[in-house]
Amino acid sequence: MNVAITVNGQVQNVEVAANTLLVNVLREQLGLTGTHVGCDTSQCGACTVHLDGRAVKSCSVLAVQAQGAQVVTIEGIGSTDDLHPMQAAFQDCHGLQCGFCTPGMIMQAIDLVTDAQSQSKPLDSDAIRHGLEGNICRCTGYQNIVAAVAKGAAELSSKAKGA
Amino acid sequence: MYSFDYHRPDSLDSARSLFAQAEDPMYLSGGMTLIPSMKQRLAAPSDLIDLSGLAELQGVERLDGDGKIRIGALTCHNDVANSALVLEQLPVLAQVAGAIGDNQVRNRGTLGGSIANSDPAADWPAALVGLQATIHTQDRQIAVEDFFRDLFETALAAEDIVVAVDFAIPRRATYQKFRHPASGYAVVGVLIAEHDNGIRVGVTGAGPCAFRACALEDALNNSFTEEALDAVDVPDVGFNSDIHASAEYRSHLVKVLSKRAVAQLRSES
Ligand SMILES: Cc1cc2nc3c(=O)[nH]c(=O)nc-3n(C[C@H](O)[C@H](O)[C@H](O)COP(=O)(O)OP(=O)(O)OC[C@H]3O[C@@H](n4cnc5c(N)ncnc54)[C@H](O)[C@@H]3O)c2cc1C
Ligand code: FES
Ligand code: FES
C-alpha cells in the first residue's frame, strides 16, 4: 500500500505492507534512527513520537493508520547546533546516561508541557512523574530526568510568555 | 504479526458491509490492545477494519432530554480526561479516564475499544456499571446490566460496533483504584455513585468482568458511612487469582477501596 505521511514537515510517500509499524517506516525506510525500539510490546516508551501533535508509541501504531497525518520525531525538534529547550535541559541536568530512552523521554516531556500549558495545569514533580509513566529508563533512576523536564518546562513557558 | 488486509471505511454502513464480506475480520480503534495482541499472534484477523474515520463515533455531548452525558466510542481516554464538559458535569469520568495506563496509551486508546474488549482489569467497565450506562451499537441499545458477561465476553456480536455510551449524572461519585504498578491496569477498581434512585457500586478487576456490588450498595443505602461497610461480607468466590493478587486479597481490596471512596465523598460534602 502507498501511504503519505508528513514527517518533520516533509511529505513522504512510502510503500508499506498493511502490517508495517510506524516505527519501522521511520527507522528503516526514512533512516530516522533517533526513534528507538526498546521493548516492541508498548511498555517502554523509547519509540515515542508525536502523531498529529500528541505523544504515541510508534511501535503500536500501523504505518497505514498514519496516512495523512503529521509525525514529528526527535530529529524534527532540534539539531546538534540548535538544541530544543527540552534537549538542552536534559543535557544541563544530566538527565541521561546511556541515552537509549532519551528521545522517547523528550518527546513525551514536550507533549506534557504542551498539554499543561493548553489547560493551564501546574507541572510539579508529581505531575511530571505521572506524565512519564509510559517511559522506562534503565540507567538514571529518574531523579535527573524529572529535574530536566521541570527545567525544560520552565524554559518553554517563559519562551511562550515572551512570544 | 501475520499479514492482513487493511480498510478504513468512512461510514458505519460501509464498515458493516466490509465486515460481512471478509473472512475473519476485526475492527480496529486505538489499537492499544489489538496491535500488541496481533504481534503476539493472540489475534490474527484476515482483515482489519479501522473505525477511526467514522464521524458517527466521535464527540462528547450533554443530552437534552434525560440530562445524560454521551461519549462517542472513538473518544480517546485523554480527550475524556480533558473535556471541559466532562470536567464540569461529570468529573468522575475524567478521574477514570486519567487513571488509565500512561499518557501515550491515553492518547490512542478509546472508550469503545476498552468496553468491547472487556478486559477484567480495565477501568471503564467500573464507570459504566456505577453510572447506569447505556451502550449504543449501530442498531440497538444495551443496558449495562446486560452488557458485561464474562472474561473478555460482552453482549456484542462479532459484527456489532459500539457507537456511543450514555452515562447518568449522579449527585456525586468517585473512583478508587489499586493500580498495578507496572501495567497501570486495575488490580481492583471501585466506583461509587449516589444517584437519585440510590447508591451504585461498580467493581472492576476483582471478577471475570465488571459487576455491581449489591451487598455494599444495600449497606450504603442504609447508612453512607465507612462503618456500614464493615459488617458486609465480600465473598471471593469466582474472583480472579493470579501472580498479581489472590482472590482473597482482591476481596479485601474491594472493601478497602469502597471505604476510601465513601471517605472521599463524605469529606467533599
Ligand atoms: C501499556 C498499556 C497500559 C494500559 N493500561 C490500562 C489501564 O490501566 N486501564 C485500562 O482500562 N486499560 C489499559 N490499557 C488498555 C487501553 O485502555 C486500550 O486502549 C483499550 O483496552 C482498548 O482500546 P483501543 O481503542 O486501543 O482498542 P483496540 O485495541 O483498537 O481494540 C480492542 C478490541 O475492541 C474491538 N473494538 C474496538 N473498537 C470497537 C468498537 N467501536 N466497537 C466494537 N468493537 C470494537 C477490536 O476489534 C478489538 O477486539 C493499557 C494498554 C497498554 C498498551
Ligand atoms: S518500543 Fe514502543 S513502547 Fe517500547
Ligand atoms: S539513560 Fe539509559 S535507559 Fe535511560
CATH number of the domain within which A11 lies: 3.10.20.30
Same domain assignment for residues A72 and A113: no
Q: Which of B27, B37, B39, B107 would best serve as a mutation to test chain A binding (most A beta carbons within 10 A)?
A: B107
DSSP, collapsed to helix, strand or coil, labels residue A46 as coil
Q: Are residues A40 and A18 in the same domain?
A: yes
pLDDT at A121 over 90: no
pLDDT at A145 over 90: yes
Q: Residues A25-37: pLDDT tens digits?
A: 999 999 999 999 9
Cβ contact (<8 Å) for A60 and B108? yes
What is residue A2's predicted lDDT score, i.e. its pLDDT?
Answer: 96
Q: Taking a C-beta distance cutoff of 8 angstroms, is the pair B217, B199 a contact?
A: yes
Judgement on whether residues A63 and A120 belong to the same structural domain of the protein:
no
Res A163: pLDDT: 62
Same domain, residue pair A158 and A92: yes
Ligand 1 lined by B116 (C-beta under 6 Å): yes
Domain that holds residue A20: 2-76
Among the partner-chain residues B82, B101, B103, the one whose CB lies closest to the CB of A108 is B103
Residues linked to residue B28 through DSSP beta bridges, in sequence order? B50
A36 closest CA partner among A130, A103, A119, A114: A103
Q: Are residues A138 and A100 located together in one domain of the fold?
A: yes
Pair A16, A25: CB distance under 8 Å: yes
Region B179-197 average pLDDT: 95
- Asked if B36 and A19 come within 8 Å (Cβ–Cβ), the reply is no
The answer to whether the CB of B9 falls within 8 A of the CB of B15 is yes
Question: Nearest-CA distance from A49 to chain B in Å?
Answer: 9
Query: Which grid cell is B29?
Result: 480503534
Conformation bin of residue A142: beta by default, left when phi > 0, alpha when psi is -120 to 50: left
Both A157 and A98 in one domain: the answer is yes
pLDDT, residue A103, reads 98
Task: Please give the Cα distance from A71 to A60 (Å, whole number).
Answer: 14
**A57·B105 Cβ contact <8 A:** yes
Q: Express each pLDDT in B4-60 by its tens digit.
A: 999 999 999 999 999 999 999 999 999 999 999 999 999 999 999 999 999 999 999
Length of chain A equals 163
**Minimum-distance CB partner of B36 among A17, A41, A51:** A41
User: Amino acid letter at B48?
Assistant: L
Q: What is the CATH number of the domain that holds A144?
A: 1.10.150.120
Residues A51 and A90 grouped into a single domain: no
Contact B104 A119 (CB under 8 A): no
Does residue A55 have its Cβ closer than 6 Å to ligand 2?
A: no
Q: What is the pLDDT of residue B230?
A: 94
Cβ pair B201, B212 in contact under 8 A: yes
**Same domain for A99 and A157?**
yes
Residue A23 to residue A32: CA distance in whole angstroms: 9
Same structural domain, A64 and A15: yes
pLDDT at site A40:
95
**Dihedral (C-alpha) A43, A49, A54, A58: value to the nearest 10 degrees?**
-50
Q: Which three cell numbers, joined as nine digits, stand for B256?
A: 478497602
| CATH fold for the domain made of B172-268 | Enolase-like; domain 1 (3.30.390)
For residue B110, pLDDT over 70 is answered with yes
Three-state DSSP class for B231? coil
CA–CA gap between residue B244 and residue A156 (Å, rounded): 40
Per-residue DSSP letter, B76: B
Cell digits of residue B205: 478487576
Report which DSSP code applies to B159. Answer: T
pLDDT band at residue A76 under the 50/70/90 scheme: very high
Do residues A69 and A138 both lie within one domain? no
Mean pLDDT of B174-199: 96
Domain segments of chain B as ranges: 1-48, 172-268
Q: List, in order, residues 6 or more apart from A81 with CB less than 8 Å away.
A: none
In terms of C-beta density within 10 A (0-12 exposed, 13-18 middle, 19 or more buried), how is residue A50 classed? buried
Distance from CA of A29 to the nearest CA of B (A): 19
The atom number, within ligand 1, closest to the CA of B35 reads 29
pLDDT attached to residue A36:
98
pLDDT class of A60 with cuts at 50, 70, 90:
very high
Cell of B250: 482482591
Separation of B202 CA from ligand 1 center, angstroms?
Answer: 20
Q: Which CATH architecture has domain B1-48?
A: 2-Layer Sandwich (3.30)
Q: What type of residue is B232?
A: V
Same domain, A16 and A72: yes
**Is B101 in Cβ contact with A45 (below 8 Å)?**
no
Average pLDDT over all residues of chain A:
96
For residue A159, CA distances in Å to A80, A156, A162 come to 20, 5, 5
Which stretch of DSSP H or E encloses residue A157? Answer: helix A143-162
Give the model's confidence band at A120: pLDDT under 50 very low, under 70 low, under 90 confident, else very high.
confident
Q: Could you tell me the three cell numbers for B184? A: 497501570
Contacts of A119 in chain B (CB under 8 A): 82
The residue type of B123 is D
Last residue of a domain, which of A76, A104, A137?
Answer: A76
